[in-house]
Structure 1
Amino acid sequence: MSRSSATPRPVLQWRAGTPVQALERPLPRETAVGLSFDGRPHTVLMATPRDVEDLALGFVITEGIASAADVLDIVRKDEALGILVDIRLAPGALARKARPRNLEGRSSCGLCGVQRLADAVRPLPVVGAGARIEHAAIPRALAALEAEQALGA
């Protein structure tokens, strides 16, 4: 798996009053990062694939799981579904380990509370043909938006 944090992608730029322009933009790349402690799954985060070892150490410290001195090793393993990072703690740190996450997220990427990569990265359902929106409708909608938001005035 590439450790690049951005991938160049072709995009179309739409601006009012100008023709559509084809461009290439670097888009941030994110992947699922599964954190485990001594081989036991703890949580899955979405992150760029760079510096995940630093991410894991920061997570340990900021979540109050252990001190930096309690971390014996951080092992990264690239998988098809994402990246597994196992944090190996000193035996004395085991009593302070945090509970696995059990968070509910209703309007996010959907990873809140997930502990394993396989649960985080599921196949997407096939979506049939839907509504088509023509380009000219977008600037019209944006122009009408201000008039419809009385509290914004």
Structure 2
Amino acid sequence: MPRPVVRVPRSSWRATGTAESERAIPEETAIAFTFNTASYAVMMASPQDLEDFAVGFALTEGVVSSLDAIDTIEVVEEEIGIELRVWLKAKDAAEFLGRRRKMAGLPAAACAGWESLIEAMRPPPEVGDGQVLTPDQIMTAVNSLFPQQALNRETRAVHAAGFWDPARGLVAVREDVGRHNSLDKLAGALARDGSTAEQGLVVLTSRVSVEMVQKSAAIGAPIIAAVSAPTALAVRMADACGMTLVAIARKDGFEVFTHPRRIKGTLESHVA
């Protein structure tokens, strides 16, 4: 299996001169998803936590509604990439393949565009109430993510997604070259651990695009906190599904874009 990090030669150009050395950079691998032999998607991703990736992708993309639908997962290394062979249980496989056949029956040109638009704009499920958190708890959650980013410390080139619970702290962290992939892997890790995202918050190192809202809502997360800004569509989608969207979380505070009812109190001045 490919290593998630490789070292490559490089020349450093600085004001003090040039030097030859090596740099650690993240690997990027083509990952193909198949469900009961039916091809579904190919993603470029970091070749680690692949079982989590398979489960999380299936959940956040709506292929299955729960971990119970998955029978087995095979990770198969090919010459040009990796295939994640997901085998669904009989009832769930029949439902999935039925949906595929329905789409295949549409005119090819119309199907491609219509299916893509429907997928891109699918409304996420409404999230639950979750917990009311203090601003200090939001900052604690955001600050707790960075020390756990082992892959990014080595490469400075990957995203991370974490889940923070006020009772347990940072429950899980997953990293990947793709921000969507890191969130899928986090979703899979939580599902395989028997945990849910309903009583804490998802923490992201990336900007908040609409897909990040859709995927977080799919696992029931009532709050997202991100270090970068959201898109306008992400704000509208978060508002529609009842999610609290926190973004631009920096050392001196953060901004709340939707449903601020889940955040109460004031931010202590000593927060670093």
Q: Higher RCO, 1 or 2 (CA under 8 Å, sep at least 6)?
A: 1
Residue type of the partner of 1:19?
A: G
C-alpha separation in 1, matches of 2:10 and 2:67:
43
C-alpha separation in 2, matches of 1:35 and 1:92:
19
Q: Structure 1 length normalisation: TM-score?
A: 0.60
| Alignment pair present for 1:4 and 2:14 | no
Residue type of the partner of 1:85?
A: L
| Alignment pair present for 1:80 and 2:79 | yes
C-alpha separation in 2, matches of 1:78 and 1:55:
15
C-alpha separation in 2, matches of 1:3 and 1:89:
26
Over the aligned positions, Cα root-mean-square deviation in angstroms equals: 2.1
C-alpha separation in 1, matches of 2:90 and 2:80:
30
Residue type of the partner of 1:88?
A: W
Q: Per-residue CA shift, 1:94-117, capped at 9, x if unaligned?
A: 3146759x559xxxxxxxxxxxxx
In the other structure, the counterpart of 2:196 is none
Which of structures 1 and 2 has the bigger CA Rg? 1
C-alpha separation in 1, matches of 2:55 and 2:6:
26
Which blocks of at least 5 consecutive residues in structure 2 are unaligned? 104-111, 118-272
Could you tell me the percent identity over the aligned residues?
31
Aligned mate of 2:40, from 32, 39, 42 = 42
Shift of the alpha carbon at 1:30?
1.0
Please list, as runs of the form range in 1=range in 2, the aligned pairs for 1:76-115 lying within 5 A after superposition: 76-94=75-93, 95-96=95-96
In the other structure, the counterpart of 1:13 is 12
C-alpha separation in 1, matches of 2:72 and 2:23:
37
C-alpha separation in 2, matches of 1:39 and 1:50:
22
Shift of the alpha carbon at 1:52?
1.4
In the other structure, the counterpart of 1:53 is 51
C-alpha separation in 2, matches of 1:64 and 1:19:
53
In the other structure, the counterpart of 1:65 is 63
Residue type of the partner of 1:44?
A: V
3-state SS, counterpart of residue 17 of structure 2: coil
3-state SS, counterpart of residue 20 of structure 1: strand
Size of the alignment, in residue pairs?
101
Detail structure 1 runs of 4+ shifted over 2 Å in the superposition: 96-100
In the other structure, the counterpart of 1:23 is 21
C-alpha separation in 1, matches of 2:7 and 2:59:
34
Please list, as runs of the form range in 1=range in 2, the aligned pairs for 1:121-140 lying within 5 A after superposition: none
